[in-house]
Structure formats: structure tokens, C-alpha cells
Chains A and B, each alone.
Chain A
Amino acid sequence: MASIRFEQVSKRYGKVTAVAQADFEVKDKEFMVLVGPSGCGKSTLLRMIAGLEDISEGGLFIGGERVNDLPPKDRDIAIVFQNYALYPHMTVYDNLAFGLKIRGLKKEAIREKVLEAARILEIEALLDRKPKAMSGGQLQRVAIGRAIVRSPKVFLFDEPLSNLDAKLRGQMRLEIARLHKKLQTTVVYVTHDQVEAMTLGDRIAVMQQGIIQQIDTPQNLYRRPANRFVAGFIGSPPMNFIPGAINQSSQGFVFEDDSLTYAFPLPASAAWEPHTGRRVEMGLRPEHFSARPPQDGLPYASFEVEVQHIERLGHESFAFAQWGKYALAARLSADEDLEPPCRITLWASLDKMHFFDLESGRAVG
């Protein structure tokens, strides 16, 4: 059993609060991703699990045991660093064997474990090489090899793929997912890359300025972002936001944009009641626009836009357009033949719209 539980954990460096009252649990065997912009406190949170940073406040539990004062070596964890931290003067074999040797294992036992780890990561051919003579992808494998060789209860990754090129990153992503399935170990994985987060995580914790904004499965983060930050962070290109207000009209609740030029009816629900008259932002993802009216019979809205630029990716295109005074991004199917600048109508189902209180950022409705 190796769940990791944070109970009101904070970390302060002098006046800077790097992590504020983290309170959540990583379940046994779960793949948890910490994602957020640079400097939001992800590494600090991870390093507290490893024992490389003291905990200023709160309690940290691994497998039910309070580990606040346990040194890193006694926590039965392994960590993979962004720069790999492989020892340059040692061969791959010695790098993998180092921790086992330190722990006083017998030579044959070490050999067996190192070879097993090398086999799993397909780095047997590299065992006699030194790090200097290897590519980024190979170094990455070796670094992971060093982590799995001790069969720890918990794996920690701190941006392990950010030194690799895009193609290799994709490969290693798959590989890490495969490894997790095989080894069935609790993983905490830090990244600033939302694609990595979405593809790897069983659950994702989105952080901003030391505060965990939302923890949920990738699907739920995407479908039901808890606040404007999460909504804008997950998804690429990011969600479009249009400021306005929720008002009550004769037809029921409506969203009216600031210039009072547009008004969309909102689904009939009592949930709007407390927000009536409040300033909100409407959020709509680029992929929820379409150049044709939806055929599913659901209520929709239309946007007369001026397309200014198109990015064609082959299988799809992104249109960057002006709608009144707002800039919108929309994903279009690749066979829309547009020559910007041009005027088109974009359509979107009302049920794809998100609303966030302008002041608190919290999702409403």
C-alpha cells in the first residue's frame, strides 16, 4: 500500500509561499499528474514527497505513515530529475547499481536487478556506456531505469521529458504509461505540458500560485473545469472567453455580452438565479465551434465573424477570427475552404458554453 496523503501541507521560503495548504490524496497505484505554469509550486510539492524539502506546515503520509521527519532514503521512493542526474563518471551499469550498492546488496543480487531493469527499459546494450556517449532519449531511459531498479513504492518524476524533442517526447510518454501499467506503482508526475498531463494522468492536479485549483480525471477537467484558470489552462488553443453578465429576460435567463449587442438564452435552470445581474465570462472551446449549424436538434448560438487568419494542420484547421471586439479561435474541419479575410458564421451548441464568475473565477451554472 502506498497512497500519499497531504493534510493541509504548506511550504514557505521566507515570505514566498510555494505551496499553500495542499490537501489531497494520491491513491495506491494511481498515476497522479501535477500540472501548472512554471513557478506554481509543482516541483516543491514533489520534492516534499521525496523529502528533499522540509514541510513548513501540515502532515504528509505515505502508506498511512507520517513521513514529515523521515529522511529521503527511508521513504522508499525514487525520483527522476529533469536533467536526469546520472553520474557522468559511472557506466550505465554502475549508475543503476549505485543505490543497491549503497544499500549493501550482494553483487549477484545487484546484477540480477540491474539486468532486469535494463531488460524492461531495453537498455541492455548500453550498460557499458557512460552518459556522455548517449542521446537524450537513452539518458532518459537510464534515468528511469535507475528509478525502477530498487522497486520503490512510489515513483516521482519532475518534468522528465522536457529536455527531449517533440517526437521523442511522444514516444517516451507512451513508454512511461506502459511502464506504469506493468509495474503498478504509485506515480506522481510533474509537468507544465498539458498534453503530457492529459495523456498520462489517471487524475490531474492543476496548480496555480501554490494552490491546487482542481483535481480530477482528464475528462472531467476538460468537461467541467472548476474555474476560469483550469478552463484556460487545459485545451489548446485555449478556451475563448467573452465577458458579460447573466440577466433575466422575458424568455428566462440570458447571457448578454458587455456591449449588449448579443444575448444568448441559457438553459432553463434554477442554478442561474443566484448569479443574476453578476458579471461573468462565457467560455467556449475552439473545437466546439462549427462552420455549419449543428444537426442534433439542440439549441445553439451563431456568431458572425471576420476570419483573419487560418492555420491549416492537414487534418484540421484553426481559424482566428474577430467577433465584434473579441478575438475568437475556432477549430474547423480541414475541408472548409476559406480565403481570409472573409466573413463566415460559426455555430456552437449552448450546452458547450461555460460560465465563470468574473470576480472569483469559479464556474457557475
Chain B
Amino acid sequence: MKIQVNKGGKKGRGLAPYIILSPYLLHLLLFVLFPIVFSVVLAFHKWNIISPMEYVGLDNIQRLFQDRLFWKSVLNTLKFLIVHIPLQIVIALALAYFLNEKILMRGFFRATFFLPVVISGVVVTMVWQQLYGLETGLLNRALIALHLPRVEWLSNPYMAMISIAVMATWKNVGLYVILFLTGLQTVPRSYYEAAEVEGASAWQQFRYITLPAINPTLFMVAVLSTIGGFSLFIEPYIMTDGGPLNSTLSAMLYIYKQAFGYYQMGYSATLGLFFALLIMSVVAVQKLVIEKES
């Protein structure tokens, strides 16, 4: 028997789909495809915006591998991720867990935790800069009031990136709370009731029922926050400008500085492409792990 496949009726639709899609296609062309192609071209050139481009072959790539500061910025970004991602996942999951219970003013809390997500990153960073202030910051004043030593939140090179990671977690956690809440709500009540009758404690119910059930959400959150974390920029840009001692110089911030601080457009493009490849390979590994798990 022959099976007829409907090819979507190509005939007769004409240009209509393309016209409807055109605003998006235009955007894609101007702001996604063109920059990618242009940065590939740039990667083989030297260009300071003002003078004409100069072809330099693989010089930029060679320079990248010898650029210690770039590798430090990559390492800084990884440090940030190591603090940020677990913190984000644990806090988001804990909040989601409690917001899923029948607690007072649940709707209010759900909205409140989401609020920082929609506030501008610049505003959030400026507020936290005040909180982290060495002498007058709210945190240190609280510590002093409790007769504890104050903390150099942003001026200690070991502390600064951790402080930024905490702030970034505060800012983004609401989004992941929502994702986890959605995951939690797909678990039928009767699973927990059956477990309760069997004698499982709250922790055992979480460990053996909730956690496996929200596994897909867990991985989605991990991937999203990895991608988000790699693009760390606004926070160190505003708070520390990469200092002290380049300890908060994230890869994105370094790439930005190469372009708009030193006008090394070609080199900056090279770094950008390389970093994009790095992110893609990390996400590809995560994807492999997810597919293996499920």
C-alpha cells in the first residue's frame, strides 16, 4: 500500500509565510547571522574601528593561546559557575519545595521570589554594591552590630567572585523556582500518600520520589544556569570592573574590554568565537548526560 505524505501543501501558499515571518527573519539576519559571519571575518583581521582592516591570518588565534589574562578570565568564570550553579539549584529547589506546600500567602511568596528576575540587572547590581559596601554596607554594619569582624565582600580577591555569585543567585533564583514548581506539580499526590503509608519520612519521600520525578527539570535548570553563568558580565562590569587583581574578570568582561577598551576588534572576535565553542561543548556534554539518564 502506498502512503501519501502531505508535504505541507507547498503549492498555493506562495509568499505569505515568508511575509508573516519577515520581521523575525530580518532580526535574525541583522542581529544574529550577520554578527556571527562578521566576527568570523574579524577573527582573521586586525581592526581598531577607525583604520582599515588588516589581514593577519592566524595571529589572533596564536595570541589567544598565549594570553594568560584570557585564561585567567575563563578560570574566573568557572569559579563563578562552581559557586553559582549548585547554590542556585539547591536554593531554587528548596524554595520551590516549600512554595509547593500549603503555606500562608503562597501566591505572594511565589511572586516575590520571581521579582528580581524581571528587575534590570544594572539596578540589582547597584543595590547589592551598596549592601556589600566595606564601611557603610548593610551587611557589614549588621556584622559589626553582632560584634563580628566585617568582611571585604568586594575588595578581597578571594571573596569578590563569591559575593558576585551570591548576588547573581539572588537575582536569578526566581526563574528556577518557577521551573522547579512546575516540575513538582507534575508529581501526583498519591505518590506521596502511598509513600507515607509505607512509612517514608519527609526526607525519604523527597529523596526517592520527588528527586527522581523532577530529574528532567533538574537538568534543564543546570543547562540554563550554565549558559547564563558563562555570560557573566553586568555584575563585575558595574561592581568591580574585574578587580581586585583581576579576580572578578569574567571571560565576557575581558572580551568586552578587548573590543571597547582597547579597540582590538579582531582579537575580541576571536575570543568571542572561541568562548562560544567552549560553551557549546559544555552544553553538549550536559546534553549527553541528560540523554543517558533518561
Chain A residues proximal to chain B, CB less than 8 Å: 50-52, 71-73, 77-79, 81-83, 85, 87-90, 98-99, 102-103, 146, 150
A87 touches B196 (CB 8 A): no
Which of B61-69, B151-159, B198-206, B235-243 is the contact stretch? B198-206
Supposing A81-B190, A85-B188, A85-B190 touch, asked if A73 and B196 sit within 8 A by C-beta, the answer is: yes
> Chain B contacts of A98 at CB under 8 A?
195, 198, 200, 208
What is the bound-complex CA distance between A82 and B194, given in angstroms? 12
Report the nearest B residue to A52, measured CB to CB.
Answer: B193
A89 touches B197 (CB 8 A): no
Provide the residues of chain B in CB contact with A90, threshold 8 Å: 212
Bound: A51/B193 CA distance, A:
10
- How far apart sit A79 and B213, CA to CA, in the bound complex (Å)? 21
User: Which of B188, B195, B200, B212 contacts A83 (CB under 8 A)?
Assistant: B188
Partner of B196 from A72, A88, A89 at Cβ < 8 Å: A72
Q: B199 to A102, Cβ gap below 8 A?
A: yes
* B294 closest partner in A (C-beta): A89
Is B209 close to A, CB under 8 A?
A: yes
Contacting residues of chain B (16-75) with chain A, CB-CB under 8 angstroms: none
Q: Hey, which chain A residues are within 8 Å of B98, CB to CB?
A: none
Choice from B193, B200, B213 contacting A102 with Cβ under 8 Å: B200
Q: Supply 17 A–B pairs (Cβ within 8 Å), ascending by A.
A: A50-B193, A52-B196, A52-B197, A73-B197, A77-B197, A78-B197, A79-B194, A81-B190, A81-B193, A85-B191, A85-B193, A87-B208, A87-B212, A89-B213, A98-B198, A102-B195, A146-B194
* 6 nearest A-B pairs in the assembled complex, by CB-CB distance: A99-B198, A73-B199, A85-B190, A89-B212, A85-B194, A81-B190
Contacts of B191 in A (CB 8 A): 85, 87
- Asked whether A72 lies within 8 Å of B208 as measured between CB atoms, the reply is no
In the complex, chain B residues whose CB is within 8 Å of the CB of A102: 195, 198-200, 204
CB contacts (< 8 Å) of A146 on chain B: these are 194
A52: which B residues are within 8 A, CB to CB? 193, 196-197
A83: chain B residues within 8 A (beta carbon): 188, 190
Is B197 within 8 A of A79, CB to CB? yes
A99, B199: Cβ atoms closer than 8 Å: yes
**B201-243 contact mask (Cβ, 8 Å, vs A): 1 or 0:** 0001000110011010000000000000000000000000000
Choose from A50, A82, A87 the contact partner of B197 (Cβ within 8 Å): A50
Considering residues B193, B198, B200, B208, which has the most beta carbons from chain A within 10 angstroms of its beta carbon? B198
Inter-subunit contact A81/B196 (CB<8 Å): no
